Amino acid sequence: MSPGGGPRLLLRRLREIMAEQTSAQMRLDKLVSVIASNMVAEVCSIYLRRAGKVLELFATEGLNRAAVHNTRLKEGEGLVGLVAETAEAVNLSDAPSDPHFSYRPETGEDPFKSFLGVPIVRGGQVFGVLVVQNKAERIYAEEEVEALQTVAMVLAEVVAQGGFFNVAELDEPELRADRPRKFMGDGLSEGVAVGHVVLHEPRVKVDRMIADDAAQELKRLEEAIGSLRQSVDQMLVSSELDLTGEGREVIEAYRLFAYDQGWRQRMRDAVRTGLTAEASVERVQDETRLRVQRLGDPILRERAHDFDDLARRLLRHLTGESGQQALSRDAIVVARNMGPAELLDYGREKLLGLALEDAAATSHVAIVARSMGLPLVSSLEGIADNARAGDAIVVDGESGEVHLRPPVEIVAAFEEKRGLRVQAQARFAAIRDMPAITKDGVAIKLMMNAGLEFDMPHLKESGADGIGLFRTELQFMIGETMPRLADQTAFYKTILDAAGDKPVVFRTLDLGGDKVLPYARWEREENPALGWRAIRIALDRPALLRYQVRALLAASHGRTLRILLPMVSDVDEFNRARAMIDRELERARLLNQTRPTQVLVGAMLEVPALAFMLPQLMRSADFVSIGSNDLLSLAFAVDRTNPRVARRYDNLNPASLTLIRLIVQSAAENSGDLSLCGEMAGRPLDAMALLGLGLRTLSMQPGQIGPIKMMIRSLNLGEISSFVDRLCGRTDHSLRTRLAAFAAERGIVLK
């Protein structure tokens, strides 16, 4: 560093340069000159990212000026590309001898040996690289690295806010904050939404980056950390939260992060370089996130989420912002992740759709989104950092596309697509009251899945024959406490009253795995999908099942009650659970309590082992429902929530169809009542194959009933049955293409 004032003087000069009413290029040229002078460097250069992850030389002091806007390096190419790729500083005494060095003759950098490059980072994104060089061989001191990193952070903020560049003067850099962005993810709930961004956890806007008084900023930081720690301590002693078990352990671990001295010290050090308290929090947050992203460890990623949350809370303590925001009438929520209760808090009146970084097809937020009829796309890495409140956004839950700040032609295209969907819905509505009968006269029952009270109007709107799967656990998951017996009874009675004379199949609590009650104690498991869940919990904690059955019996007075037991692995499990149900029925009789006219108890076939016990099961169970999501996931040993393997198998693999065919044949031989409720049932091509295998009752999301009925009414069942039977003998990875060609040749409607 120069003896003339250190990093704080450099930051003040930077602020002055940014405020000048000159061209962007003149400000950049002046900036590199000031940095070079302040750091006693013979070269200072700024590289910014362009489309295609290309780094372009935008300004230099000490290199050949003719190289500006002409020298480009790909990410990972040369030392500059290495800094951008790793998001870490590179500090070398003899740069030309390093194997990563990429010689560019037009720059004239031959004489310069020492090299220090730092990433220009904001919000976990690398915007560019800031470099200083000298002829003499030397390693730059730690305080010099720190000073350059501080300047790079301020520069990143300016670039991200679009305040440094006049588009009329320069081609805009790739990462300009207001440029259009396209993301491709997984469509988890169909539909098209065009609206404006609402950030679920809005980033606190930091307007002031450079401190006027470092001592005052340190005092503000310490006071905010104190307030943050006090608020976390209050979580542990709050009588309202009543934290026990793992819930308390999570908050205690969170408290340790809040009291982490290394985290506090890194922020204090950043303030001492000349940043404000807010800018220091952001800098440390960005550095932590980048380190964790490079490691790729899922446990560390969870810890990074904790630090992200702490940083947001700390920024709110500093700025006084509450984080609450008003909802416009065309709101599309953007978030890293979200729980079902948080989604319900938004309501459905103004919300049009969801764009999430992290959610699985079977997660409860996805289930609730489908129930609410909201388009949802997930696996959108980086969208929460790129989106700003109020940005225009388009979400396509069918293709998985999300367009942030889209051009007008993109908006027009998706408006047209949305219009076509409305027309299709009108066609489905026209056949709502028509029977689901194939061209050769075979009747199919189409049931709908539900789990919340506001699902019930869909029963009439969709023309469903009844509710084939009512997920009772959602009532337990969206509340802050365990529902009382009276509350459960009233809820189930409301559902039955809304269904009228149509049947409702109530699945008992399917907890465990990814479905954890926020107020209950759960032990962490290595593989929760194969662990303590569903009927296993009910048998080990019988009071949970008994009270739920007691509520269902009381609510079903004068009706037929249908109870479905989830995740049954063998017949003995089913028999023990049914015995508990029978005891509750006998108790109600002895106490002369109201009870149903008939109780039918079924098993959900999700565990492959149960498929080989169907003859024995059919002697005890009144009906069986195939849960295709878990059944096929377990059959293929695939974790559907893991993006690396989730797409390695297809529902229309010959093994899938052969397994389901065996189940259908076994049920038929034993005169059993068989249905299927799972994602397969709601996809026309998959459903066509299921009908060909012999299934005659399917349960799906209400919005899928129209397309499935349209397919059924255009189908000759005899033809598809013989075709699917032949396909089961093939070795294809997927039979999807062959089935689609069959449908096209015969005019079967799949859309």
Question: Known catalytic residues?
Answer: 364, 677
Between CA 167 and CA 144 the distance in angstroms is 33
Tell me which amino acid residue 216 is. Answer: Q
Angle at 150 between CA 148 and CA 156, to 5 degrees: 100
Angle at 183 between CA 182 and CA 188, to 5 degrees: 135
Neighbours of 60 (CB within 10 A): 26
Residue carrying the six token digits 């048998």:
539
Q: Is 479 helix (H, G, I), strand (E, B) or coil?
A: coil
Please choose, from the candidates 312, 444, 344, 331, the residue with its C-alpha nearest in 3D space to the C-alpha of residue 395: 331
Between CA 736 and CA 731 the distance in angstroms is 13
The H-or-E segment that residue 313 falls in is helix 298-319
What is the DSSP secondary structure assignment for residue 704, as one 8-state letter? G
Q: Is 653 helix (H, G, I), strand (E, B) or coil?
A: coil
DSSP string, 124-149: TEEEEEEEEEESS--PPPHHHHHHHH
Between CA 395 and CA 678 the distance in angstroms is 24
Please choose, from the candidates 612, 518, 523, 601, the residue with its C-alpha nearest in 3D space to the C-alpha of residue 566: 601
Is residue 391 a contact partner of residue 385, using CB atoms and an 8 Å limit?
no
Q: Is 564 exposed, middle or buried (0-12, 13-18, 19+ CB in 10 A)?
A: buried
Q: Is 103 exposed, middle or buried (0-12, 13-18, 19+ CB in 10 A)?
A: exposed
Please choose, from the candidates 308, 317, 150, 307, the residue with its C-alpha nearest in 3D space to the C-alpha of residue 220: 317
The H-or-E segment that residue 699 falls in is strand 697-700
DSSP string, 338-388: --HHHHHHH-SSSEEEEEESS--TTSHHHHHHHHHT--EEE--TTHHHH--
